[in-house]
Amino acid sequence: MARVLYVSQYFVSGDQPGGVRHWQHCRALARAGHEVTVVTSYVQHKERTIPEEYRGRRIVRSTEDGLDVVRTYSTPGYGRDLRSRLSNYGTFALWSLLAELRLPRPDVVVASSPSLPAAAAAAGVARARRSRFLLEVRDLWPDSAVAMGLVANPRVIGAARRMEHYCYRRADRIVALTEGIRDGVVQSGVVPAGRVSLITNGIDLDVVPDPARRDEVAALPLADDAFIAMFVGAHGTYSSLETVLGAADLLRDDPRIQVVLVGGGDRKPALVEQASAMGLPNVTFVDPVPKRQVPAYLARADLCILPYQDRELFAGALPNKVFDYLGAARPILASAPVGELTRLVDTARCGWNVPPEDPVAMADAIRRAAADPVDSRARGEAGREYALEHYDRAALAQRFVSLVDDLVAGSR
């Protein structure tokens, strides 16, 4: 048994909204016999608020799902502006570092980026305490921030680049979330390709059960025979939900077709206001739901939408929500640049691809899916079968555990 310190600013369990990758990995490590301590922030990422039970406290330690979890302060209320985001990242890096230094020496330190400052702090802790260091890269920072126009200051970009390369150099192993991220890490020239492993997201059968055996279906204020095109996820910067509203506007002549948007995020108030201004009778917004409740909503969907902005950055996107959709055996409508997501849809034959930010193409695809429900269901079933073969979370988590085991063995 080894002592593993797992550092991630965003840590979501199955009873909370959001992606549960870290929770799944930590549970797998604990089942393998490792002693796992998680250091994370208590600021709710989607709402960007501090829960009442943490107010006035900077470091709080508890047991969650059998895991030792240390939650720390970071500034809430951050937005798209650079100052508030850097404050959020910086305060978590500081308080997570203080929390880590209070803990017993770990055999392995795992850190996930973003946030990059916290990953760099964890790399420093691993070096100071002679622990092995595993870095997980979920986003190519600062490249993605620059591509989105979130960061333009050359000094900030330069500092972030140096921090990024420091983390790469210090890592004994690097885990990349997608092929695009893996290629980006290797192309940095800082680490050899053999040190970088690809472990994608996947479907967790504990959270996404067999649709044929699930009785629970979410109640929605819609007709039973409605054809529902659904999005479940963050209403944030990356997703082009404005395109979905544009498609809904074109579909208003068919009252049977309804669009349902489930989730929260910094863009949601503006989207609700836009839908109201457009007078869309066929759009329903639903508040965020815990991960374990997502399947009940997907059970009501006939088609699931993945809308991205028309940026080259998103050619490498393979989001967690696609695996929720696949696990629920729902056909996928991908509105994204040609890349990993569109290749998956083509290879698995699990839906349709349309150009990004094209509401006309999206509306046409939704009409085609609604007109042929037998074909739609067949595509959804094909997607689930493909995901079970290639993206089983249990197998992917075991690969992660094996990487940690190899690091532990190499340190003894």
DSSP, residue by residue, 330-388: --EEEES-SSHHHHHHHHHT-EEEE-TT-HHHHHHHHHHHHH-HHHHHHHHHHHHHHHH
Residue-level pLDDT at 13: 73
Distance CA(67)–CA(86), nearest Å, equals 29
CB 383 within 8 A of CB 351: yes
Binning pLDDT at 50, 70 and 90, where does residue 128 land?
very high
pLDDT digits (tens, 9 = 90+) for 368-389: 999 999 999 999 999 999 999 9
Distance CA(256)–CA(228), nearest Å, equals 8
CB 112 within 8 A of CB 119: yes
pLDDT digits (tens, 9 = 90+) for 50-60: 888 888 889 99
Q: Measured between alpha carbons, how far is residue 81 from residues 199, 272, 322, 403 in Å?
A: 31, 22, 28, 37
For residue 382, give both structure tokens: 């094909």
Residue-level pLDDT at 208: 58
For residue 324, give both structure tokens: 């929720």
Residue-level pLDDT at 336: 96
CB atoms closer than 10 angstroms to residue 188: 14
CB 306 within 8 A of CB 333: yes
pLDDT digits (tens, 9 = 90+) for 313-323: 888 888 889 99
Question: What domains are defined for the chain?
Answer: 3-202+392-410 (3.40.50.2000), 211-390 (3.40.50.2000)
From the list 64, 57, 48, the residue with the least C-alpha distance to 6 is 64
Q: Measured between alpha carbons, how far is residue 21 from residues 52, 91, 224, 240 in Å?
A: 25, 23, 34, 23
Residue 235 contacts by C-beta under 8 Å, 6 or more apart in sequence?
241, 261, 263, 264, 265, 266, 267, 268, 271
Overall average pLDDT of the 119-143 stretch: 94
**Beta strands across the sheet bearing 59-64:** 59-64, 67-72, 35-41, 3-7, 108-113, 132-137, 173-176, 196-198
